Amino acid sequence: MLSARSLFREILDHDESFRLFCSVAAGGEAQGGWENGRIAALVPTAQRALAPKIARHGADEDKHGRIFTALLRRRGFTPLPVPPETDYTVLLERRGIGLAHARLRQDTPLTERDIVVYLAHSRVTEQRAAEQMALLLKHFAGHPEIGRAVRMIAHDEDNHLAYTHEELLRLAAAGHGRFIQRTLRACALAEIRVHRDVSLAVMARMGRLLGWSRIRSALLTAGIHAVYGYERLAGWRRMVTLGTPARRDPLGGPAAPAPEFA
């Protein structure tokens, strides 16, 4: 039976596929931590109150990277290099989404529009992350090996998504509304393409590791394309709407430690 639960259980139960999954996840989270750290350091004077929240976001992403690395260590593994075709962050940057790493390596302060670009990029990618973690939470919250990690990361991703809504609404009220909507739409349409391509690349590698039949691989490939088709038609709109979040000021304090994983 092809279901999210059975598919992920198969990946979890096989050492090499689990190693690939955690390596890709750890690499993406570490990259996000670096990006947020640099953005926090370059926030323009008019938005300095946002810097601690961006830094908190980065600290959470770093923590998630350590969690995935710790899960690998428990099985006696070190992280694998992230295959280029599965590098979600890099592929988004190549499509011009978010702030370029070359810009973040400079010491010149960002502009308010740069902050809007960062928050719009985060709004879209955190939607994806929150949905993926909600799926894992549904099926594996009580799993003895990964349950605690799933619960912790899912909570953080929900906070990150709420934070992007809150800050984009604040900037929209300050006069950036039209630019925010244009940027969100461009980010969402690019993200769904990158997500499709990364999903196909990851599934191809998992299929080789797990010895999937051609029929099973074809079904999973068709499913990925079907999801992309829906998102291209209408599903992207969920990534661009803004609403007052139930969680208020979700990144207003220090990052919660994760000593059992660090």
Give the pLDDT of residue 261: 52
Q: Residue 245: inside a domain, yes or no?
A: no
| Long-range contacts, stretch 134-141, CB < 8 angstroms, 24+ apart | 135/4, 136/8, 139/4, 139/5, 139/8, 140/8, 140/12
Q: Residue 42: inside a domain, yes or no?
A: yes
- CA distances from residue 41 to 6, 26, 113 in whole angstroms, order as listed: 43, 23, 16
CATH number of the domain at 205, please: 1.20.1260.10
Give the pLDDT of residue 248: 86
Question: How many domains does the chain divide into?
Answer: 1
- Classify the C-alpha dihedral 155-159-162-164 as positive or negative: negative
Give the pLDDT of residue 1: 53
Give the pLDDT of residue 5: 87
Give the pLDDT of residue 4: 82
Q: Residue 8: inside a domain, yes or no?
A: yes
Q: Residue 261: inside a domain, yes or no?
A: no
Spell 180-195 as b/e; 16+ CB within 10 A means b. bbebbbbbbbbbbebb
Residue-by-residue pLDDT tens, the chain, 262 positions: 568 889 999 999 999 999 999 999 999 999 999 999 999 999 999 999 999 999 999 999 999 999 999 999 999 999 999 999 999 999 999 998 999 999 999 999 999 999 999 999 999 999 999 999 999 999 999 999 999 999 999 999 999 999 999 999 999 999 999 999 999 999 999 999 999 999 999 999 999 999 999 999 999 999 999 999 999 999 999 999 999 998 888 988 666 665 555 4
Where in the sequence is the domain holding 172, given as residue range(s)? 4-239
Q: Residue 250: inside a domain, yes or no?
A: no
What tokens appear for 87 in the block?
């590098």
Spell 68-95 as b/e; 16+ CB within 10 A means b. bbbbbeeeebebeebbeebbbbbbbbee
